[in-house]
Each structure stands twice: as structure tokens, then as C-alpha cells.
Structure 1
Amino acid sequence: MTSTTISVAGETPYDVVVGRDILSSLGDLIGPDARKVLIVHPPTLGARAAALRESMLDRYEVLLAEIPDAEAGKRIEVAAFCWQVMGQSDFTRSDAVVGFGGGAVTDLAGFVAATWLRGVRLVQVPTTLLGMVDAAIGGKTGINTNEGKNLVGSFYAPAGVLVDLATLEGLSRMEILAGFGEVVKYGFIAEPEILDIIERDVDVASDPTSEEFRRLVELSIGIKARVVGGDFREAGQREILNYGHTLGHAVEFAERYQWRHGAAVSVGMMFAAELARLSGRLSDDVVDRHRRILESLQLPTTYPAGRWNTLLSVMKRDKKARGDLLRFIVLDDVARPTVLAGPDQSLLFAAYQEIGV
């Protein structure tokens, strides 16, 4: 199968290469100048990371840094471990870091690369659907603190992103479906074709070996590339990518990061849709379409009604807030996102009651 290249514009342009069984081209993105490469990976990919290392030893000195899985890996202590490995190996500014894993791994690897010697070459190799369509693209890096998710981080563009669909093999169906939270988001904020493909046959659309699945991945990456290429530091249009994320991040925090990100964003999108409907912006039909599509993908659309005060307090610490002013991305219609700033507390509570159980 041939690969597809999607370019991300901006101050530091780079390419996202999409295909199947293309890990052998990783060296092309790392480039000839690096002598040493650090592959950051989770425990579940230990064998694959070791094989990837072996395949690169003819070109580089390759080191492995195994970090805790999922959000547990996005801690300052884990970043410090990676810095220690790099320091003890005399990593220079011409060397490279590879993020090999899901969104949490690419976030952490990006943060490590951005901060070592004020920035070394970074190549992201996402191995989950979420990482492929979202986390690995756009240059957002970050770690979590006790106070919230991604409150510490930087904007740092990778040198390239390698999306090998074959790395999805072996993932559970629930892991694949969780990644669809972000795919559905792109459909609602920018690309109705995504929604149409899912509605036409959800089983085919969610099969990683199908052409429809690849089409969804490429459409999603294309949207992310266009948005971040024009707004790298989230000063304007990029904010639309946060659809469903304000409440979604609060749900993740409340669940101590035991929920998958896509599941939390699914609840967040349902809340945002109800908020837009109660604000007189969005029709009942589009709200119902949210619920129908998300539930067809076995993603949650409700959350316990008694948790509102907890979620509200977390949202007030959200990095997208401006002072005491909460901001939500909502829709006026499919592919018509806008910002709702400072909605009345009673309106927020009423919208939450619509998804509360």
C-alpha cells in the first residue's frame, strides 16, 4: 500500500506520512545528522521498540526509555528520567527523540525533546488512533500535575510524524473505538464526510484494515494539519479543536485518568451540544445526531448527575479559561464551530442535567 503525505504548514513546517508497514522509513524523518536516538515507549510496546531499535543500529546509536503507560507517564519525574538517560549518554542538540506510543507517550516525548538543550529533533510515531489523528500532530507537548491535565508544557513542532496503520494491529476494539472520540469531533467541527462514513456502516468505518478507516484517519489528520498550520500557538482558530475538551478534561481529572481520553471527550461533546441547544444555537436534530453517532461507537454520552460541582471547579482551572471566564467551543451547525464565552452558571448546570444520570 502506498503512503500519503500530509503537510503541516507554519513557522516550522513538517510532514505527516500515513501508510501501512512503513516503520522502515523512520530514518528518513530523523535525518542524517543525528548520531544518537532515544525511543520513548510504554511497557506494552517493549518488544516492538526493541525491534525498531535493532532495525536502526546501522545508522544510529539507539537508546530505549520505557515509561509508565497512559497518563501515569506524563509526570515530571518521568521527564526527569528521560533527561537523565540523555545526559548520561551525552545527547547533543543534533540528536533526536522518537515518541513511540499513544498520545500520552507522544506528549511526554515532545516535552522532553522541547526542553533538552532547549530543543532537539523530534519524530512522533503514534501507535493508537488517538495519537495518530490528534496528540502527535500540532506540536502540543505536556505533562500533568496534581492540579490538572496538561497544565505544564510547550508548543514544539516535530520534524515529522510517521503514521503506520499496521501498529494498530493487536489493539482491542475498545481501544480503537475510544480513539473515535477525536475522529467524531473533526466531523462535527469541520468535515461532514467523516460523519457520513461512520453512519453508513460503523463496523466497516471502525475496522483498522478497511479503506474507510484509512480515509477517516487521513481526513482527520488533514483537518488538524490545516488548523494548526495557521494557528500554531492556539491564538485563534486552533481553539476549535477543543470541542468537547473543556468538560472532557474535567471528567478525566475526576476519574483520576482511568477513563480513556476519547470517552471523556465524547461526554464533553454531548455536553457542548446540549449547551449550544439551550443557548438557541443548535437544532435538536444535530444534538440527536451527536448522541446517535457516539453511541453507535459505544462511546459514553452521559455522566453522573451529582458530579457537577467537582467538574465545574476543575473547568475553572482549565488552560483555555481567561481569568474567571469559562470558554466553550460550541456549534451553530455541523462544521460551524464558535466560542461561547462566559455562559451563565444556570445555563451550564441546565446543560449538564441533560447528560446527567
Structure 2
Amino acid sequence: MPRRTPRLLAALALVGVTALPGLAEAQSVTLNQAAFRFLRQVRRPDGQLPNWISRRDCLEDNPTFGADPNLQRATIQMSPNVQGARTGWSLQVWAGSGVDCTDVNQRQGAVARCWEVGRAANPNMAVVTIDVSPRKIAGQREMQDVLPDDIGEEVCQQQIQLPITLYLMLVDGGGNIQGSVAKWENTTLDLLGPPAPTAISAGIAENALVANWTVPIAGDLDDIDGFAVYCAEAGGVPADGMGGATGMGGASGGGACSSSLLIPGRLPDPALQCGRSGGRGTRETRTNTLQNGVEYAIAVAGVDRVGNSGPLSPIACGTPQPVTTFFEAYREAGGRGGGGFCSWGPPGPAGGVAASLVGVGLWWLRRRRQRA
């Protein structure tokens, strides 16, 4: 027995020596919160779900933003900790929703539901950074083989809200996953805005219109962060033949109200926004400066926490007009008081002054009603 002990110890030592390289080359990919960055032109605060992909993020992931040094192209940037990568392997990022992308059948074949959104060809470098295209995520599996620069803006107009899981995995030359896989589950593809408001009216103001609406009662109202008003000169027929509402409160003329640029039920053109109110309970806001004497069509859309606008409401029309205030009317009627407690004029019969003020007030209110 003593003679066999040295041989046993030598054999164990040999096993230990040959096992050490394997332990040193253990493969793994890990990703923490600090290693995930969403780069965008306008930073979104924590209360507005900064890790989610909005319609604006999708639209600003384009070559124009990438080529302009003054613009930040929307990009998801990840710097995972990669251990044990070998030459010829790649670090791949796959996206999926409700499926396990480590299953090869979800990445390849007719029933696959995951799609590749990023890849680093040299994951054995000391620092690995990989950029993921928001538009590539929005394109889903149908756009897997299309470069991000070649994916059109139409994918950003989808009305979807989809939880996304990103899988970061080391893949060898044979397509096999090596070692542990990192999962990122804090991102949602949110291109779906709130439901449209109803009962739109356009109140008349000087160089402006006052939009009024009823908050929608369907859909996820907790997601509403406010409302946006959109303006365009009235007239024209929408491309699909859809008209707007007939003249409503404050609408000039009382006839049909139409706009070729504001189409109810469609997503609005951001360039037409002319007013904004915060809070899901608001029901009125004044537009930005408009031109007196020009008839405008207005429509309202809800805005969610990530900045997505929902579809447009029915439209209403109105014409901004000069507004005569009470004291302007008073002066036009011959009044000479300044309107303040300290103003005074030549003494006169108190009853006559009071009667004049009452008369001017009634005349002014009558003019206001006629203009409304």
C-alpha cells in the first residue's frame, strides 16, 4: 500500500494541473444596470421610463442623426463583462418577447420568434461595447436580415406595446451558446399612444383658439401624461376622404369642418403641434399664437409617459379674433375711469355713472356672446 501512494498522489496532481486551464477559461456574460445606456437626443427622466423604446427613439435611430455631430442618434449601448471568449467566437444580442432565445429553435427555423439585433465580432477584447438599434428591435424578426440604416420609418408607426428581453450570449463558430447568458428585461417597445379624446370644441380668443375636450374613458388612462393640440389652416379634403366634425362650440360658420392635414384616428405630424397641457385630468388649453381672421382646424391627442402621441381626435374649427375687454368697451362708450380703485374723474351724478357702467357691461357681454 505505501508503494502505491506516491503514484496516486502523482495522478491526482496531474488531474489538477490539466483541470486548471479549463477553470480559467470558464465562459460567462454578465450585464449590470450601469452597463446599459440609452443614448438619445433629449434625455428622458426616470419618471418617463428611460429604458423603454418610444416612437421618437425609433424615428431618431436614422442615418441623418448619425451623420450630424450635433445630433445624437438613438442607440442602446451595452458594455457587458465577458469572460472566457475565444478566437472565432462572437458576442450576439438577441431580442424576444415571451420566448426563451437560448433555445436554438427560437433563433433558427420556421417557428423561430427571436431576432438578432447586435453582434461584436471580437468579444475576447478587454472592453466589449455593443450598440443595439432601437429600429432593429422595432422591426422584429421580419427585419432581422436588414441593416438598421435600411429599415424604413414605417416600422415606427406600429401601434404596439411589447415587453422585450435582450439575451447577450457567447456563440462559437458552430452556432452553439457557450457559458452563461446575460438577460436584460427592463425594456419595452412602446409605440402605442393613448386613446383619442372626444367632444372637441374650439373657443375663440385673440391670436389663439381655446381647445376643449373630454378625456377618453377607454384604454390605459394611467399611461396618459398630458394632451397635445395640433393646428392647421382649415380646408381641403383628407387623402382618405375622412372629414372632421361639423361646427362645434366656437367653430366659425357652423358648417362642415375639414382639414387635409389633420385626419381623425391617424397619428399626428409633430410639426403641427400648437399647444400642450400636462396631466391626465386636463380638459382645456390655449393654443400658441395664431393669426386673427384665419380659420383653423384643431385636433387633440393624448400623450403617454414616454412621449408617444396617440391618434387624433375629431377636429373642430375656429377663427381667432380680436377680443374687446370690459374696460376697452367702457372706454369706447365714453368712460374715462382707469378701472382701478384709485382712478377718479370729474364729479357727476352717482346714479348716472352706475347706470352707464351697467349698460356698458351688458353691451360688452352681448358682444362676447355674439362672437362666441
> TM-score if structure 1 supplies the norm length?
0.23
More helix by share: 1
Larger radius of gyration: 2
More strand by share: 2
> TM-score if structure 2 supplies the norm length?
0.23
